[in-house]
Amino acid sequence: MQTHLGRLPCTRAQNAKYPPLLHTPMIVSKKAGLLSLLPDEILQMILEVLHREDCPMTPIMGVCKTLKILIINSPRLWRRILVSVDLMPPSLQTGSTMSCGGENLLRNCVERVRSAPIEATLVIGQITSDSPAASVRAERYKIVLQKSSQITFLCLIINPGTPISEVVESFQHIFTSGFEALESLMIASAVPLSGLIKAFSGLLDLINTTSTKLRSLYLENVSKEFVMEVRQREFWKALSRVTLKGEYQPLHAMVFDQCNKLDFLSFTGELHANREDAPFPVGATATQLQNNALSQPLHTMQDRPLSGDTSNEGRHDVQLPNLQWLRVGAITMHGLSQLVIPRVRFLVIQTALRDYVKDTPAPHSVIFPEVEVLHISSIHSHIACIVAPKLQTLCLQVQVLKKADANGILDRVFDGHPTMLTPKNLSLSSLAHDKYIISVLKKQSQLEIVTLIMQDLPKKALFEALKKPTVLPRLSSFTLELQSNADKGLEKRQRFITERMEEVKAAPARQRLNWLSTKWNGVDQIFVQCEVCGSVKP
pLDDT tens-digit series, residues 383-412? 999 999 999 999 999 999 899 999 999 999
State yes or no: pLDDT of 300 exceeds 50. no
pLDDT for 37 equals 78
Residue 188 to residue 220: CA distance in whole angstroms: 4
Q: Which of 260-269, 480-489, 524-533 has the highest mean pLDDT?
A: 260-269
- Average pLDDT score, the chain: 86
pLDDT for 248 equals 84
Average pLDDT of the segment spanning 362-388: 97
3-state secondary structure of 538: coil
Lowest mean pLDDT among 10-14, 57-61, 389-393: 10-14
Residue 49 to residue 55: CA distance in whole angstroms: 9
pLDDT for 489 equals 81
Average pLDDT of the segment spanning 164-169: 96
Tens of pLDDT, residue by residue over 347-359, are: 999 999 998 888 8
Neighbours of 57 (CB within 10 A): 22
Residues 6+ apart with CB under 8 A from 199: 164, 167, 168, 170, 171, 172
State yes or no: pLDDT of 97 exceeds 60. yes
pLDDT for 502 equals 96
- Residue 91 — very low, low, confident or very high, per pLDDT cuts 50/70/90? confident
pTM, entire model = 0.84
pLDDT for 182 equals 98
State yes or no: pLDDT of 9 exceeds 50. no
pLDDT for 277 equals 65
pLDDT for 11 equals 39
Assign residue 181 a region (left: φ > 0; alpha: ψ between -120 and 50; beta: otherwise): alpha
pLDDT for 317 equals 77
Contact 249, 219 (CB under 8 A): no
Residue 237 to residue 240: CA distance in whole angstroms: 9
Tens of pLDDT, residue by residue over 265-299, are: 999 999 999 876 666 555 544 444 444 444 443 33
Lowest mean pLDDT among 5-14, 38-47, 181-190, 304-313: 304-313
Percent of the chain having pLDDT more than 70?
A: 84
